[in-house]
Amino acid sequence: MSNLTSSYTLTNGVQIPKIGFGTWQTPDGQTAVSAVKEALKAGYRHIDTAQAYGNEGSVGEAIQASGVDRSDLFLTTKIWNSNHTYDLTISSFEESLKKLQTDYVDLLLIHWPNPIAYRDDWETANAETWRAMETLYKAGKVRAIGVSNFRVRHLEALKKTATVQPMINQLFLAPGELEPETAQYSREHGMLLEAYSPLGTGKIFSVPEMQELADKYQRSIPQIALRWSLQHGFLPLPKSVHAEYIQQNAQVFDFELANEDMAAIDALDGVVGHAQDPDTATF
């Protein structure tokens, strides 16, 4: 039986737990510290943060306080949009390590492919950021590297200069948003798909079809959404600040959705919104 420590294997052989605990929109300070401590207590061993979330310090504090051995954890952070040069990637990463109170991270991602600060020359900016990430990877400061919100054209551009190919693409993947073209390309090029906002930032709760399935399986709506994500081979990153929901979201390994119910969820369109276009995002 799978559980929270069951893992996918990345192209370089690194194991990554099949569910991660997301911290996007979790405020820095006591809220974030408590949430991450609760997640670790509930058995999560994969924590996802980012420079932009502003809570790396709290994540680091919670890990220290948890008593969980660092080597038993899988920790992700992301390079923010203002740091897309070689030197800024290196220096901002060192800052992230200090905040996280660790000397390595398990996964480092480029957060967005086309930030407004580098829009005139995003391709070069990504190439430089990636080159810095390859340096960190080869130095053993990062166990795996990848991207987030990259579409096919951004991945194609990155491929021109990359000597290490991305191992992960973290995308907005939730009922109603499957990003098929990007997902297919990413998979064909050996990338595992991580699903951020797998509950559609809370919008999932007002989808009647999801409520019907929750009733049918005697489960919560988030449990249905997370099970759907896992059955697609995605790695979902549910976020909550409530102990009860943090635990509940982990209990998705003891049931399976029938094919027709998977298909019914696949047929939903836009019920939690659509992925933002990174080429027009205003940040």
Total number of residues shown for the chain: 283
CB 102 within 8 A of CB 58: no
CA 23, CA 18: separation in Å to the nearest integer? Answer: 16
CB 123 within 8 A of CB 150: no
Its sign, for the CA torsion 33, 35, 40, 42, is: positive
Phi, psi of 184 (to 5 degrees): -65, -45
Q: Compute the CA torsion angle 70, 71, 76, 78 (nearest 10 deg).
A: 80
Which residues are annotated as catalytic?
53
The stretches of the chain forming alpha helices (DSSP H) are 30-42, 56-66, 86-100, 122-138, 152-159, 180-188, 208-217, 221-231, 243-248, 259-266
CB 214 within 8 A of CB 223: yes
CA 229, CA 231: separation in Å to the nearest integer? Answer: 6
- The type of residue at 44 is Y
